[in-house]
Amino acid sequence: MKILFFCTAHNSLSQRLYLVLSRQHSVTVEYALSAETMLEAADLVQPDLIICPFLTSLVPQKVYEAYLTLIVHPGPPGDAGPSALDWLLMGDDGTEADSQILLDDDSRLNPPGRSHWGVTVLQATAEFDAGPVWAFDQFAVDINDPRVTKSSLYRGPVTRAAIAATQAAVARIDAAATLFAAVSGAPASPPPTPLTSLTPSADRVDHKGRSRHGIVPALTAHAEFAKTSVTTKQPFLGGTTRHRPLLKAAQRDFNVKTHAAAAISRRIRSADSQPGCLSGLFGRKLYLYGGMIEDPTLLSCTGQSIPPGSIVAVRDEAVCIATCDNKGIWITHIRQVKTKTQVALWPKVPAASGLRQLGLLPAMPATSESLLPQVASDRWSKSYHGTFQDIWVDFVSDGQKRIAYLYFDFYNGAMSTDQCRRMVQCLEDIMMMHSEASDADGTSAPLAAVVLMGGDGYFSNGVHLNVIEAAADPALESWYNINAINDVVQKMLQDFPSQGITTVAALRGNAAAGGVALATACDLVVAGPDVVLNPAYRALGLHGSEYHSVSYPGRCGAYGAHTALRSMTPLSAHDARDMGLVDHVLSQQEQEQQEPSTDSLDAGMRRYIEDLFLSSRDGSSSGALSTRVGAWKQNVDTSPFALALARATELGQMSMDFWSARSERYHTRRADFVRKAKPACTPLRFATHRREQGMLDEEERDEYDSIDWFVEKAKKALKRDMSEKMINLIRDFRNTCDGREEGVGVKMGGELRRDAHMPLTPSTPIFPCYYGA
């Protein structure tokens, strides 16, 4: 089947769905930049089916009337509106029909929330989110779990439910089309070649105007599809569903003097990723992120009274605020509010450094940290209680060997300079404990393996682009960051193996760019079955480092490494395994539970690794692989000299990405990514329907690596800019001489001061509904 995706952005859900459907269908992607571009794409593709996995704009009527168009809505049947997950996490259980009453009287929000939520695949019609339902799936949810944010829901259970429901919908449509074809006498297979008109062409329809393969908007979805979920075979278990309006950032604000910690946490977590919880908590309006609860009760040992809203602790760039119920809320990140005169969004930065820059973080008393309960018995152990902690280590031993599981749960998988340096310190402490450790009975238990576990949602996405974008000197901060993450990789690639300690990367979440290279530098890479990898750097304008010039060729060969770096398209875990980037993909059986979840994946990963490295385990299922652990290193030189040369060579290229004329490719793309700028077009590598013979994206061209090419490009841009200014000046001069006020001249002075790192050209944010663009 020929399928066209319409996407606001090609995000984690759409990438995962693309990879699943591409196994059996031809799928191409179009960014929904305007009604015109969507109409044009439909005209070019003449698809059998249109699917909208992530769409924040309306599908043009001409499109859904010509082609059966499916909307993937992150809510169960009957739910409608653009903020489905937001309302869910706020505590809306559907009891109250009036949305405004819920906002005006938050006592009507239900703290326990719904027991279940769902994803619906419905047909686009004139009425928003109200078309025929072709499939839905549901999952259990706990809105009071501090790990459950809008983003984590979306990347985890929502994505899994969307894939199950979409696959079922496609199968049901195919069955309905086959039945239609049998009745009408039309063939049931799609046409073999692309067509060229929005109105289905003669090759696509029979003499009566019906689709030759039966897929038309008039197909009928069975009523049962909206009543029974795909996987559980049950009706929706989460209560009454409603049509809710857009939930704006300011409508999630809270009063720290009256709202309990749990209510504040839900409000902040409901706004995770976009738009953030707009609040004046720190004295001026800022978008807030985080929402972890400091629990048990604050100050239980001191008896001190702390006014709600007071800053009681700063830990690893996160800030803890006292609440009225004597607990605390951790704010991990902030974003400044974009004014109408500013052309782009501000970066999302760690809370402490961001507040310091704004002069909103007072000096903390030396005893402030003692106001919080003790985190753990030592620096790197998992906390005894609920709190903010982004790095911790868990040791497992069978009495003869030990495994160190290093968790690093960084926001959106980004690793800042400071976070990388803390990881290096943690790895050094693990190495030190290796020589000193012993079991309780005194038996020596040497370290067999160090396992990088990453976070629940992401393994790693490499350097922290938001922190870099917000820095006084982004190029210099980029240099610090890439060197810091290289230090982490060096520990895993060189230092631990030199001591006979195996290194493992356990990918429980997605990975991209330097995060993929960090994983592949390990002896063994194990991935969850739903993980998506994006190993290329070029889309961001970077050559890349993290010793990828060693690990990629060692694992994939020269051609495979070149493909991984140049394709700039997502890979499934199984595709990555076939290439050599991943050694083992965990199966459903190895997750030990019927329903996939973060906890079951973590348990499955640990069981697999312990079967492999601890002698007390049977290890029969992993024995064959154990003989191949680290075998990729036989294909390349991993001597200290070779690794030092590889690092120096990579950093030489990266320095050109930061400071040479070529740096334009990185600095502009980083700014657009961080500030959520709306792209001008869909890359050809996604929009294959627009690629003609010889057409390439700029990032796919060889000259993209040439400094001279960027010098010439800058010269041409300067000439064009000067020509436009001269034309405007001449026109203004003529208008002045003629006494006329025609045209718009060049304003020579009085320009408003702008953020030094904001794009010079105006750009519309991808999500204008949230930011007032």
* SS3 of residue 408 by DSSP: strand
Residue 181 has pLDDT above 90, yes or no: no
Q: What pLDDT is recorded for position 758? A: 44
Q: Mean pLDDT, to the nearest integer, of 260-264?
A: 95
CA–CA separation, 207 vs 630, rounded Å?
62
Question: Is there a contact between 465 and 459 (Cβ–Cβ < 8 Å)?
Answer: no
Helices and strands (H and E) in the chain: how many:
22, 22
The CATH topology of domain 2-226 is Rossmann fold (3.40.50)
Q: What pLDDT is recorded for position 727? A: 87
* Amino acid (1-letter code) at residue 601: L
Q: What pLDDT is recorded for position 725? A: 86
pLDDT band of residue 595 (cuts 50, 70, 90) is: low
**Most trustworthy range by pLDDT among 195-204, 326-335, 763-772:** 326-335
Q: What pLDDT is recorded for position 616? A: 59
pLDDT band of residue 759 (cuts 50, 70, 90) is: very low
Q: What are phi and psi of 457, to 5 degrees?
A: -90, -40
Q: Mean pLDDT, to the nearest integer, of 452-460?
A: 96
Residue 675 has pLDDT above 50, yes or no: yes
Q: What pLDDT is recorded for position 439? A: 47
Q: What pLDDT is recorded for position 179? A: 83
Helix pair 663-674, 474-490: axis angle to 10 deg? 90
pLDDT band of residue 647 (cuts 50, 70, 90) is: very high
Q: Give the residue among 390, 399, 395 at the shortest CA–CA distance from 422.
A: 390
Residue 419 has pLDDT above 90, yes or no: yes
Q: What pLDDT is recorded for position 191? A: 43
Residue 636 has pLDDT above 60, yes or no: yes
Torsion of CA 243, 247, 251, 255, to 10 degrees: 90
Give strand pairing partners of 315.
318
* Amino acid (1-letter code) at residue 359: G
Instruction: Please provide the distance, in angstroms rounded to a whole number, between the alpha carbons at the two ends of the chain.
Output: 38
Q: What pLDDT is recorded for position 208? A: 40
pLDDT band of residue 435 (cuts 50, 70, 90) is: low
pLDDT band of residue 129 (cuts 50, 70, 90) is: confident
Question: CB pairs under 8 A, 24+ apart, for 222-229?
Answer: 222/172, 225/132, 225/133, 225/134, 225/135, 225/136, 225/172, 226/77, 226/120, 226/132, 226/133, 226/136, 227/77, 229/118, 229/136, 229/137, 229/138
Q: Mean pLDDT, to the nearest integer, of 304-331?
A: 91
Buried b (16+ CB within 10 A) or exposed e, 92-117: bbbebeebeebbeebeebbeebbebb
Residue 374 has pLDDT above 80, yes or no: no
| Residue-range domain boundaries for the chain | 2-226, 249-371, 391-635, 706-744
Residue 609 has pLDDT above 70, yes or no: yes
Q: What pLDDT is recorded for position 386? A: 87
pLDDT band of residue 375 (cuts 50, 70, 90) is: low
Give the single-character DSSP code of 704.
G
How high does pLDDT run on average in the chain?
88
pLDDT per position as a tens digit, 715-729:
888 888 888 888 888
Residue 442 has pLDDT above 60, yes or no: no
Among 330-344, 386-400, 699-713, 719-733, the minimum mean pLDDT is found in 719-733
Q: Mean pLDDT, to the nearest integer, of 607-620?
A: 77
Q: How many residues does the chain have?
A: 773
Question: Is there a contact between 697 and 567 (Cβ–Cβ < 8 Å)?
Answer: no
Q: Which positions ≥6 away from 109 have C-beta within 8 Å? A: 90, 91, 92, 93, 102, 263
The CATH topology of domain 391-635 is 2-enoyl-CoA Hydratase; Chain A, domain 1 (3.90.226)
Residue 404 has pLDDT above 80, yes or no: yes
pLDDT band of residue 198 (cuts 50, 70, 90) is: low
Question: Is there a contact between 478 and 663 (Cβ–Cβ < 8 Å)?
Answer: no
Residues 249-371, CATH architecture: Roll (3.10)
CA–CA separation, 480 vs 497, rounded Å?
25
Q: Which positions ≥6 away from 335 have C-beta within 8 Å? A: 276, 286, 287, 289, 345, 346, 347, 348, 349
Question: Is there a contact between 61 and 80 (Cβ–Cβ < 8 Å)?
Answer: no
Q: What pLDDT is recorded for position 736? A: 77
CA–CA separation, 430 vs 449, rounded Å?
11
Positive or negative torsion for Cα 259, 260, 262, 265: positive
pLDDT band of residue 438 (cuts 50, 70, 90) is: very low
CA–CA separation, 693 vs 702, rounded Å?
17
pLDDT per position as a tens digit, 229-248:
999 999 999 999 999 999 99
CA–CA separation, 403 vs 523, rounded Å?
14
Q: What are phi and psi of 402, to 5 degrees?
A: -130, 155
Tell me how far CA of residue 665 lies from CA of 4, 19, 564, 662, 689, in angstroms. Answer: 29, 28, 20, 6, 25
